[in-house]
A = this chain, B = another copy of it.
Amino acid sequence: MTTSLSDIAERAGVSIKTVSGALHGGSARMSEQTRLRIKEIAEELGYVTNLAARGMRQGWMPLIGVVADDLITSPFATEIIRGLDGAARAADMAVFAMTLGGGRDVASVLEEVRRFRPRAIAYAAMYHKTVSLPAEFAETVGVMINCREANDKVTSLVPDEIGAAHEITSYLIEAGRRNIAFINLPGLLAGELREAGFRRALEEAGLDAGRARVLPAVRRAIYSDRAHSLVLSHVTALMDGPERPDAILCGNDRVAMEVYAALRRVGAQIPDDVAVASFDNQVDIASRLDPPLTTMALPHRAMGRLAADILLAENAAPGEVRKLAFQLVERSSV
């Protein structure tokens, strides 16, 4: 049997309430002596607070529920959780994640989470997208992380794709690069927005955005000649063409990895001949490439942290969309 407050109270010869106050009450009125004695006894008896009991009384458990798009798998998702967890922990809360997938729909997963009476619930997407949450959940879910709620009924936290593309492009321009090609991810919201930021930065620098080359990568391929061929042919065409680029911006680090291989094959030096920059800061890749890759780090941890802050402060502004800045990670590919 686990020890409860009453066991401690009995042993200490005080009331349960006094024990509760001594152990949890921040500044309950009682002599420091009593408090200390009670804490000692609690320690001795191996007391562990029963959060289910407290939770029942308060009406909620010290939990932040997270409904995730898909099983938490990528390093990015991990960062979101890490951010949430850090902020939650500071408030003596824990993060409790459940995932969709496997035929489960939002409604049932949400109910599963709600059974535990979390203080607040967030919805997290694996990659930046627009999610349409059934209207009846707009009040249940406090924050959308890494996705925007289609009907703007919920506060949404998303990466500032446009700003990031603008920043990295400007960075390349400041480094003296004038002819920047962009091998982008096709079919993704992030790619679309990044392209916009890219073009705007070019325009602001007085470069001809209309003639900028934006080419699609393909999202599969490691060392496969077939799949590789698209990025390879892009790079080859660029480097053999009349206007050799002096910089290539990549849709993400994975694309950059392929671009590195392609540049190596055509005999171009990074960064002397061509600078390479990218998005994501997937550390496994970016820091191990040779030379290490300069890339814009996704603000996943910041989104997690902010989400927890908003949820715990209960000051979500429904419908607001907050764009979080990427962080430029300078390595040596520019």
Contacts and interface: CB of A to CB of B under 8 A. Distances in A.
Interface string A92-133: 001011110000000000011011110000000000000000
A52 interface: yes
A175 interface: no
Contact of A55 (B52, B96, B221, B284): B52
**Taking the full assembly, how many copies of this chain does it contain?**
2
Nearest to A225: B290
Contacts of A257: 222-223
Interface string A53-93: 10110010100000000011101001001100100000000
Interface residues of A, number: 47
Interface in A224-264: 224-227, 257, 260-261, 264
A173 interface: no
A213 interface: no
Contact of A53 (B49, B56, B227, B285): B56
A61 B52 contact: yes
Contact of A51 (B49, B116, B260): B116
Contacts of A56: 50, 52-53, 56
Given A72-B72, A73-B78, A78-B73, A115 B223 contact: no
A317 interface: no
Contacts of A260: 223
A228 to B, nearest CB: 8
Given A72-B72, A98-B94, A224 B52 contact: no
Contact of A115 (B49, B99, B227): B49
Contacts of A29: none
Contacts of A288: 220-224, 227
A327 B53 CA distance: 44
Contact of A289 (B73, B98, B223): B223
B115 A290 contact: no
A50 B290 contact: no
A308 to B, nearest CB: 15
Interface in A146-189: none
Nearest to A55: B52
A48 interface: yes
Interface of A: 2, 48-53, 55-56, 59, 61, 71-73, 75, 78, 81-82, 85, 94, 96-99, 111-112, 114-117, 220-227, 257, 260-261, 264, 284-285, 288-290
15 contacts: A48-B114, A51-B52, A52-B56, A52-B116, A56-B56, A72-B72, A94-B96, A97-B97, A221-B288, A222-B257, A222-B285, A222-B288, A222-B289, A223-B264, A226-B290
